Structures are given as C-alpha cells and as structure tokens.
C-alpha cells in the first residue's frame, strides 16, 4: 500500500507538471520511472508508462 501511494504521488506530480507545462521531459520521465520502480505492473499507470516508453 505504501509503494502504491508513493507511486501515485509521483504520477500525480507528473500529471500536474504536464498540465502546467512546468516540468522538463527529463523530470517527467524521472517521476514516471520512480513510479514504475515502485509499481511496475499497476494497471492504473500502464498508459503513462507506455507513453513515456518506460
């Protein structure tokens, strides 16, 4: 549960940064990579992982 919650925080930050255009591509990829390391098979995040080629 903690791993999922942390991954969710990273994904939320990524989506807000994307919406605000406040993150670089590298920062977005890093947030997604951290989420992936915590929850690689989480169905809710698969679309994000594949869009960023993780």
User: Beta strands of the chain (E only): which ranges?
Assistant: none
* Burial of 18 (C-beta count, 10 Å sphere; 0-12/13-18/19+): middle
Which residues, including other chains, have CB under 8 Å from residue 40's CB and lie 6 or more apart? Answer: 49
Closest CA to 25 of 34, 16, 14: 14
Q: What is the pLDDT of residue 54?
A: 86
Q: What is the pLDDT of residues 13-23, one digit of tens each?
A: 999 999 999 99
pTM of the model: 0.89
Distance CA 16, CA 3 (A): 20
Say which residue the tokens 């406040």 belong to.
22
């Amino acid at each position: 549960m903690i791993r999922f919650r942390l991954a969710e925080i990273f994904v939320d930050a990524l989506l807000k940064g994307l919406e605000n255009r406040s993150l670089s591509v590298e920062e977005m990829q890093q947030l997604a990579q951290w989420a992936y390391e915590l929850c690689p098979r989480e169905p809710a995040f698969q679309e994000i992982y594949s869009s960023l080629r993780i």
